Amino acid sequence: MKNIRTAITTFLIGLFLGTAGFAIATGSLGSSLFPDVPAGSYYDEAVGEMYDAGIIRGYSDGKYGPNDNVTRGQVAVMLKRFRDELLHGGIATVQPQDDDPQDPPATPAPERNSAGSIRFTIGSFDVMETNGTAQITIIRTGGAEGVVSVDIKVEDKTASGGSDYERTTGVLTFAEGETNRTFTVRIFDDVLEEGDETISITLSNPTGGAEIGTPSTAILIIEDDESADDSSNANSNSPGELVFNATQFSMSEEVGEIDITVVRKSGSGGIVSVDYQTRNGSANSISDYDEVSGTLSFADGETEKAITVPITDDANTEGLEAFSIVLSNPGGGASLGAPTSVDVKIIDDEVLSFGTGSLRLSEESYSTLESSGEALVTVERIGGASGIVSVHYSTSNGSAKKEFDYTETEGDLIFLAGESEKTIVIPILDDDLSDPGETLNINLSTPTNGAILVAPENATVNIQ
């Protein structure tokens, strides 16, 4: 059967990515590994990702043979590697040998707690005291069998229970199969200028066989509105600037449409507008998506709008395709920020499944000039972009020191449905010292709502 070797590869990757809790650790392309895999072919990405996972290895002469037939023995070897990958829940190690049936015995899979582990999504939350309430998310990972519960205790740190917030304790219960719960902390708005204050929230006493995960303690920061800079009010009177909410979007063709979010920042005063237009790339507006153009209008105080682009679901195996969408002609005194042009990737559902996705940094190392005033770090969402996910990011010292060479930066990056690439901005401080070649670190942690981290999740930023 012609192309059976390639067909099995694409079939396995569809199963692999469609299995909850698994993702590929890198993003190699088959064409970068094997000289006989055409760049841009519909199986280019599938071959690379299955190689990264250790499920395929190619021949001893360095070729893959995408048009070769396979024997029953070779199919058994690939399926065994696939089985081992699912059982172990990790990334298989790629061995420098060809696809023969001689594999070492599988390592026994570690025991898994079917009831799961309960933890906070991040170690720090914040809320304005004017909000009235803070929503705290607790997740159950690694298993969801049976009914489990966990005790929650909210205590003073620098904030005072009764005057700054409502001190509370309680029990949070997860039903069978339930993996995500929230609880509410009531916040009191006073007229005192007292600065930001903090409270501590602790998880303990899990039941039903569940365990306590990390982080099990979180800090809630109550931001004082009396101490806030009045510049925020000044900014609200500005017409602001208009930008896309992400630097790249992606969506499976079977979804039928994608919403591209445009946000208005640095001001929301008055009525403003901006034109938008789609442009063909490898995807064509005749067969792959519907061309759209028009004008978005923002009312006074409005900060977010969506452009809906219909996607065509066909039966062709055509691989990854993309088009772009561009903003232009801002009106009402608004300006254009960055980005004003983004790529939209259409994932072929005949080749790959499409799920929540995995999160990673785009590079292991970034560089910037001290005089530029900032470092831009890209975070990618790969293997799927369904639903809303988030990931925490934070900087730490290398040879560069915070407050002397850069401003410490920490927060949560939120990806809306379809958003697949975002940028973190790290302020860089320009001094008079001759100290080139300093570095700081950037780290991703605690992904939410089913997304997972893959390498690289840590990177260095070189300041020249």
Better-predicted residue by pLDDT, 126 or 43: 126
Residue 443: what pLDDT? 92
Which residues contact residue 315 at a Cβ distance below 8 angstroms, ignoring those fewer than 6 apart?
Answer: 350
Longest dimension (CA), the chain: 77
pLDDT, position 82: 65
Instruction: Quick: pLDDT tens for 382-404.
Output: 777 777 888 899 999 988 888 77
Range with lowest mean pLDDT among 12-26, 249-263, 409-423 = 12-26
Q: Which residue has the higher pLDDT, 51 or 169?
A: 169
Is 192 or 99 the better-scoring residue by pLDDT? 192
| CATH number, domain 234-347 | 2.60.40.2030
Of the listed ranges 163-167, 169-173, 406-410, 433-437, the least confidently predicted one is 433-437
pLDDT at site 257: 81
Under the banding of pLDDT at 50, 70 and 90, the label for residue 441 is: very high
- pLDDT tens digit string along 424-437? 888 888 765 555 67
User: How many Cα atoms are found within 13 Å in the side-chain-facing hemisphere of 140?
Assistant: 29
Predicted local distance difference test score (pLDDT) of residue 90: 40
Q: What is the dihedral of CA 456, 136, 230, 195, to 10 degrees?
A: -100
Q: Sorting pLDDT into bands at 50, 70 and 90, what band is 283?
A: confident
Model confidence over 46-58: pLDDT tens digits? 777 677 666 776 7
pLDDT at 434: 52
The CATH homologous superfamily of the domain defined by 117-228: CalX-beta domain (2.60.40.2030)
4-18 and 72-88 are packed helices; what angle lies between their axes, rounded to 10 degrees?
10
Please check the confidence at residue 364 and state whether its pLDDT lies above 90.
no
Q: Is 60 exceeded by the pLDDT of residue 354? A: no
Q: Give pLDDT, residue 316.
A: 59
Average pLDDT for the chain: 76
Beta bridge partners of 377: 424
pLDDT at residue 210, as a whole number: 92
* pLDDT in the model for residue 205: 94
Q: Can you give the pLDDT at residue 393?
A: 92
Q: How far is CA 224 from CA 129, 167, 185, in A?
A: 6, 18, 16
The pLDDT, as a whole number, for residue 7 is 54
* Cα angle value 280/284/286 (rounded, 5°): 125
Q: What is the pLDDT of residue 412?
A: 86
Mean pLDDT of 221-235: 59
In the chain, list all ranges with CATH 2.60.40.2030.
117-228, 234-347, 358-463
Going by pLDDT thresholds of 50, 70 and 90, the confidence category of residue 131 is confident
Instruction: Look at residue 381 and tell me whether its pLDDT is greater than 70.
Output: yes
The mean-pLDDT minimum among 70-84, 199-213, 406-420 falls in 70-84
Confidence class for position 325, pLDDT limits 50, 70, 90: very high
Specify the pLDDT at position 147.
92
| Residues whose CB falls within 8 Å of the CB of residue 177, separated by 6 or more in sequence, listed in order | 144
pTM to 2 decimal places: 0.38
Which overall architecture, per CATH, does domain 358-463 show? Sandwich (2.60)
pLDDT, tens digit (0-9, with 9 covering 90-100), for 248-268? 787 776 677 888 888 888 888
pLDDT band at 229, cuts 50/70/90?
Answer: very low
Q: What is the DSSP letter of 161?
A: B
- Does residue 18 carry a pLDDT above 70? no
Name the band, by pLDDT with cuts 50, 70 and 90, for residue 10: low
| 184 vs 67 pLDDT, higher one | 184
Examine the pLDDT at 6 and tell me if it is beyond 60: no
* pLDDT beyond 60 at 234: no
**Chain centroid to CA 4:** 34
74-101 CB burial, b ≥16 within 10 A, e <16: beebbeebbebbeeeeebbeeeeeebee
pLDDT at 165: 86
Lowest-pLDDT range of 81-85, 338-342, 345-349, 411-415: 81-85
The predicted pLDDT at position 314 comes to 64
Residue-level pLDDT at 21: 38
Average pLDDT over every residue of 290-310: 87
* Percent of the chain with pLDDT strictly greater than 70: 72
User: DSSP of 90-132, one letter per residue?
Assistant: SPPPPPSS-S-S--PPPPPPPP--TT-EEEESSSEEEEEGGGS
